[in-house]
Amino acid sequence: MTSPDSSPRSAASHRSFRQLEVFGELLHSLTTAARREANFPLFLQHRLGRDRRFGSRDRRLYRALTYAAVRHLPWIEAAPPSARALLSLWLAADEPILASLRGELLTDWPPLPASPTDQVALINERLGLALTVDQLFPDWLATEAPALAGPERDRLLTRSPLWLRLQTPDPQPVLTWLATEGIPFRRHPLLADALALLIETDVASSALHEAGAFEIQDIGSQLILALARPQPGTRWLDACAGAGGKTLQLARRLGPTGSVDATDIRPAALAELRTRATRAKVTNVTVLAPGAAGHRPYDGVLVDAPCSGSGTWRRSPHLRWRTTPAELRRQHERQLAILSAHAPLVRPGGRLIYATCSLARTENEGTVAAFLSANPEFRVVPPVEALGCAVNEFGTAILPAAHDGDAFFVSLLERS
């Protein structure tokens, strides 16, 4: 990186150069933390928040640069230290907040190619390196997720858009508000309630969100219940409800004559679920303390199981550098125990829905196969509609390229 022309040096150029220089000073500690910190987003928030030099725009700018670096961590680490900040900026072409920096500081760099293969070829030529695209993925991915190849795998290097799920029968107030605010969006072709925002913006603080008109929920997560098709008027348990994104979606699908009992081992998550249910004016959800009996047996039980989170690499790229085969095996054992514990709560003829946000066969097909071996009264049933997803004998994979969201796996298990 070279300093902008100082004769005369514009204030904007000087500011841009200094911002990238500061990022270069931060970069080593941030990339080290990406490999070490289990909650890297929180670490990054605290690290940028406690630096009094940074205003809110600075923090957003450095966050965007950091995530570009973390997505391409082996490339950044292999580059000469003096080139790492500028390389991070070049790789962050999809970040609007960096447009000014790119215009000021990348004048002698070509536009970023769409293909990672073309990107790495250009980096190798300019910096004299021998990098590969394969370096951007852990070695275990090829065996754990063989369906991820070429463009499907490369999609994991890009950021997901923010997806909304409409909570009201009439979408027009939300659509009108988005148009008035100048927020571009696109509707999902298969899910009428789903829409993607095409720019990064804060919608969580909007009046419509506070009024319960929509929830923020990734399209992959929304597709789980679209594939499962829980029937109106039935009784369900959401066994790993978390903060309740799928709980609210499930409650809406079941309608006023259906009901959802929701529980989780984390009291703070259940408190957030209560807040969200109140905001969404949902009245057919009962929040249960962990271990409470509920209205068993249920017509259906949803187990959105704890997992490695490898399906969320587009949003959480640091997880790509932390997940190991040993972690996949630990999660598999945990998932199998949770499934087995909740199987007796399903009535004969009812459904046990197993879902993860993982790419790994160990956590997905492997967990389902082990469960079926120990519970022969259950069988996998295919979804009525595949909705553009990949169906196999153990379940359905929701992959990023088909719907531009995170990756999920869902298995529909019916009790005889």
123 and 254, same structural domain?
Answer: no
Average pLDDT value for the chain: 94
What residue type is assigned to position 292 of the chain? A
pLDDT in tens, 325-349: 999 999 999 999 999 999 999 999 9
Q: Per-residue pLDDT for 8 more than 90?
A: no
123 and 249, same structural domain?
Answer: no
Catalytic residue among 240, 307, 357, 389: 357
Q: Per-residue pLDDT for 90 more than 90?
A: yes
Q: Per-residue pLDDT for 6 more than 50?
A: no
Task: Collect all residues with Cβ–Cβ distance below 8 Å to 344 and sequence separation of at least 6.
Answer: 297
pLDDT at 104: 94
With bands split at pLDDT 50, 70 and 90, how would you rate the model's confidence at 119?
very high
307 is catalytic: no
pLDDT in tens, 281-292: 999 999 998 877
Q: Report how many domains make up the chain.
A: 3
369 and 234, same structural domain?
Answer: yes
Tell me if 245 is assigned to some domain. yes
Parallel, antiparallel, or unpaired: how do β-strands 194-197 and 162-166 relate?
Answer: antiparallel
Domain of 56 in residue numbering reads as 11-136
pLDDT at 98: 94
Domain boundary among 199, 216, 233: 216
231 and 179, same structural domain?
Answer: no
252 and 212, same structural domain?
Answer: no
Q: Each residue of 245-254: b (16+ CB within 10 Å) or e?
A: bbbbbbbbbb
This prediction has a pTM of 0.93
With bands split at pLDDT 50, 70 and 90, how would you rate the model's confidence at 200?
confident
194 and 244, same structural domain?
Answer: no
Tell me if 150 is assigned to some domain. no
Tell me if 149 is assigned to some domain. no
Tell me if 180 is assigned to some domain. yes
